[in-house]
Amino acid sequence: MSLLIDCTNKDLSLTDIYRLVTGVSDDGNFYIRTYNDGTSPNDLVSLADCESGDITVLDILRGLLVVNDAGDYALNISILT
């Protein structure tokens, strides 16, 4: 299970989240850290009403932000098949 960052923290900006989850390889290439907490894609349902406009991209990224097993910030990504 992943550790969720408090999504009510309105001080985190989009830039802050990108900085937390971005890494740089030894070759100087940037990458995004991702983490899969093992949740089955079959257990996922749409939780946000995108049509209402009540949720922003920043809200979504705050909800995705987790701490992986190594203690690094990452985006929690589930592979849908």
37, two tokens: 């907490």
Q: What are the residue ranges spanned by the domains of the chain?
A: 3-36+48-75
Q: Residue 7 pLDDT > 60, yes or no?
A: no
In sequence order, what are the residues at sequence separation of 6 or more whose Cβ sits closer than 8 angstroms to the Cβ of residue 26?
none
**What's the per-residue H, E or C state across the chain?**
CCEECCCCCCCCCHHHHHHHHEEECCCCCEEECEECCCCCHHHCCCCCCCCCCCCCHHHHHHHHEEECCCCCEEEECCCCC
Tell me the pairing of strands 34-35 and 73-76: parallel
pLDDT in tens, 22-70: 888 899 999 988 888 777 777 776 666 666 667 777 877 887 888 878 8
